[in-house]
Chain A
Amino acid sequence: MTRAVVPEQGSGAAVPSMGRLGRSSLVARIGRIRTDGEVGESGVLSESGQSGEPGRSSQSSQSGQSGRSGRSGRSGRSGQSGQSSRASADRRAAWTARADRAAPYLFVSPAFLLLFAFGVLPIGLAAVVSLTDLDVGGLGDLGKVHFVGLENFTSLLASDSDFWPALGNTALFIVMGVPVIVVTSLAVAIGLNRSRSLLFRALRAFYFVPAVTGIVAVSLVFANLYNSQFGLLNHLLDAVGLPAVPWLADPTWAKVSVALVAIWRALGLNVIILLAAQQDIPREYYEAAALDGAGRVRQAFSITIPLLRFALFFVTVTTLINWMQFFDEPFVLTGGGPVGATTSASLYIYKEGFELNRFGFASAASLVLFVLIFAVTAFQLWLARRAGERR
């Protein structure tokens, strides 16, 4: 398409600029059409200034190179304009070449600016704040902020600090939550992939509903289901003759109950991810396996799960990061109680920072949590890369 345009509007002015660009990439072609356009216009101008002979102009444009020399011979003015347009075309070409190099950066800059403004900058700020005693007074009057060195970190990591139990709770939540979510969402996704009937599509929606339901609504419902005085769950247990469970009333049980809600909420999204990944697996593999006599279980373990490993890796990494930042469910269901049993690291940071206004201390804690998450994720990536190499 472009090639056809060039010789037609033609004139050689385009040729050197083409040569300079010397690329047949899309960006180069954009540059070319621009310079061609300039030359074409000036060519038209000189022709109309010259004479009204349509035959000549059509001849010159048809004959290309020779037409150009003929025209410039006839009129010095037209030749000059050709010269200057060629120079400006060169400048423009150079400018566009620079712009072309800048283009990718311009494309990523919105995302990058956002990432910088809401990702990198806050972390940097938190690092600075973590070395100060910033509180609500310091927000209004920076003169009240003092540099305290690593004091926040030493008191945070002291042996009697409440940060350790909070980290311990987080670890416990991860141990309870992440494997259950990965295994369950895989099992559910494999099950849901067996059929596209109306029932299965309805089930898919059923599993996804928790993911799009507001956490406050969820917590209200579960707080009432769990309640030890009037909760439905204990009522049902009682109806079948089982003893009541202190869902949110007892420190140990509260951990389990809170984790259950979080698992229920996280399942939907992961099931959808694994379901989508499964639909990329060619049917022929299953047909071939079935011909070889592999049953459904064998197919799942020998075809589906190995081919889902990237999706599974993604699900594992994101779930682990989410659970390291575990916050919503304990915040709305228990407020971290009873006796701090469901206070996760994130909830601890929130309480210190936003309820007790100890911004410096909370920043130190959030930095420590950030480093932990970073380390765990890097370790996972390393594991995955090693596993990939071995394959």
Chain B
Amino acid sequence: MRIRSVALRRVAATATALVVAAAVGACGSGGSGGAASSGSGTLKMWVMGDAGNGFKTLTADWSKQTGIKVDVQAIPWSEIHTKLTTAVASGNGPDVVQVGYSLVPTFQQAGALADLSSYAAAHPALQDGAYLEGASLKTLNPAGKLYTVPWTSDTRVLFYRTDLLTAAGISKPPTTWSELHDDAVTLAKRGSGKYGYYIPQWDLALPAEFAWQAGGDVTDASGAIKLDTPQMRTALDYYLSFYKDKAVPTAADFDQVAGFISGAAPMLISGPYLAKSVETQAPDLKGKWAVAPLPAGPAAGTSLFAGSGLGIWKNSAKTESALKLLDFLATPAAQVKWFQIDGDLPSVKTAMTDPALTADPNVAVYVKQLDDAKLLPLNPAWDKADQDLLDALNKAALQGADISSALGKIDQAAQGQPK
């Protein structure tokens, strides 16, 4: 009996070995069978963040009309890179993908998206003119081809606490750099643990915004990263002046929502998402805060144009259906509906004047700011250069390091990177 079971176990072990070997083999050859997983009338769509359910609501009626189902998969922002690299490496992606504007260079570099320029004539979504200037088809696709189509818009504006500014004797929100600085210093004198302004140590866009406001840019005419400019130096001096005059918190874990609600940071530059957080977390603060266009620097009051576009996966077999979805999402009606569902601003000009948007004074400010807003460079070297710039700035702000030599080094490193 014992002997037989030993023999049996040997057989079982051999079988296990074979099964494992087969499984490992299957892993190696996997990826070929994925295309058939969704039905012929179903588009696989990746939506970023937590907008998955909202997107299902948005497309429900359209799916009924066209018979094209949308299989929505919500990808958390933190997992996009991993998800993208896996999809690129395996060649197994969705049909339609939402591309945050900060990810446009990565998607481009990965060659993940299809060039849609040959379909442009037949599809309204692929024609410029309807879109806002800051993120038009042309600005999003500088190389001439057509990979990314605008979808939603986002920008940065000045948030301020009307009650606290009034109490400090400030009657109107700052409209210039010097007003912002002076008001911040005034407000910081309210006592310990109180500040005038808040600079997030993770805000990768702020140095570029200040550079634009100083009349400069972060790339040269050819599109290469160029940070070592007089305008950038002016911008960084301004940035650091808030630290020098102790008008901003130095704590790395300062929470901007909590800080704005408590009044510790009565002024800050942020996006519409902050308004949403404040409205839900502190509804009783209503009427005590407002938004305003960014205070203008020596040259302009340019803000960041953020948001996200849409692209069609390179080897999608359903390009025609996918283009129909893009056409639908570019209609003013769908754009406004998406604003009502998720709060993302439209990217189509005609949708901007819809009463659903104009009724809200905050939204009116966002819409106005979008007229003077710029995309960050769509250069693959930008992410690293920007991170290095922010690291150097934080070191200068918090540890008194010298930043003047850093700019040239970042430029050099960025130019050594593949474009």
Contacts and interface: CB of A to CB of B under 8 A. Distances in A.
Contacts of B24: 113, 117
B384 A356 contact: yes
Contact of B81 (A160, A334, A337, A357): A357
Interface in A87-127: 103, 106-107, 109-110, 113-114, 117
B20 interface: yes
A26 interface: yes
B285 interface: no
B255 A339 contact: no
Nearest to A34: B7
Given A114-B20, A338-B394, A140 B112 contact: yes
Interface stretch (A200-208, A221-229, A290-298): A221-229
Contacts of B38: none
Contacts of A103: 10, 13
A223 B252 CA distance: 12
A250 B201 CA distance: 12
Interface stretch (B152-160, B258-266, B367-375): B258-266
Contact of B399 (A254, A339, A355): A339
A338 B3 contact: no
A354 B85 contact: yes
B287 interface: no
Interface in B387-413: 387, 391, 394-395, 398-399, 409
A30 B394 CA distance: 72
A248 B110 contact: no
Contact of A139 (B14, B85, B202, B254): B85
Interface in A133-152: 133, 135-137, 139-141
Contacts of B201: 337-339
A135 B20 contact: no
Contacts of A140: 88-89, 91, 110-112, 314
A33 interface: yes
B418 to A, nearest CB: 7
Contacts of B112: 140
Interface string A254-282: 10000000000000000000000000000
B380 to A, nearest CB: 8
A30 B7 contact: yes
A246 interface: yes
Q: In the complex, which range does the number of interface residues on chain B fall in?
A: 35 or more
Contacts of A229: 251, 253-255, 258-259, 262, 264
B109 interface: yes
Contacts of A228: 251, 253-254
B106 interface: yes
Contacts of A355: 81, 383
Contacts of B82: 354
A251 interface: yes
A29 B10 CA distance: 14
A230 interface: yes
B400 to A, nearest CB: 11
Contact of B110 (A26, A106, A136, A227): A136
Interface residues of A, number: 46
Task: Give the dominant DSSP class at B's interface.
Answer: helix
A2 B110 contact: no
Contacts of A248: 252-253
B251 A249 contact: yes
A106 B398 CA distance: 60
A136 B82 CA distance: 10
A7 interface: no
B35 interface: no
A355 to B, nearest CB: 6
Contacts of B7: 30
Contacts of B17: 106, 109-110, 113
Nearest to A358: B384
B250 interface: yes
B57 interface: no
Contacts of A338: 201, 252, 394, 398
B34 to A, nearest CB: 16
B364 interface: no
B224 interface: no
B21 interface: yes
B360 to A, nearest CB: 29
A110 B20 contact: yes
Contacts of B399: 251, 339
Nearest to B413: A155
Contact of A357 (B10, B21, B106): B106
Interface in A329-348: 334-335, 337-340
B6 to A, nearest CB: 6
Contacts of A223: 253
A40 to B, nearest CB: 15
A168 B156 CA distance: 37
Given A139-B89, A339-B394, A254 B84 contact: no
Contacts of B13: 103, 106-107
Nearest to A337: B252
B340 interface: no
A137 B253 contact: no
A230 B261 CA distance: 12
B53 interface: no
A136 B259 contact: no
Contact of B250 (A29, A135, A249): A249
A55 B383 CA distance: 95
Interface in B131-164: none
A140 B7 CA distance: 48
B16 interface: yes
B108 to A, nearest CB: 8
Contacts of A358: 384
Contact of A356 (B16, B383, B398): B383
B21 A135 contact: no
Given A110-B20, A133-B418, A338-B252, A139 B88 contact: yes
Given A140-B111, A140-B112, A141-B111, A249 B252 contact: yes
Contacts of B81: 354-355, 357
B6 A339 contact: no
B387 A254 contact: no
17 contacts: A30-B3, A30-B10, A106-B10, A110-B17, A136-B85, A137-B111, A137-B418, A229-B251, A229-B253, A229-B258, A249-B252, A250-B252, A334-B253, A337-B252, A337-B394, A357-B81, A357-B109
Interface of A: 1-2, 26, 29-30, 33, 103, 106-107, 109-110, 113-114, 117, 133, 135-137, 139-141, 160, 223, 226-230, 246-251, 254, 334-335, 337-340, 354-358
Given A30-B3, A338-B252, 5 more contacts: A110-B16, A140-B91, A250-B252, A251-B398, A338-B201
Nearest first, the 7 closest Cβ-Cβ pairs linking A and B are A249-B251, A338-B252, A136-B110, A137-B109, A248-B253, A139-B89, A228-B251
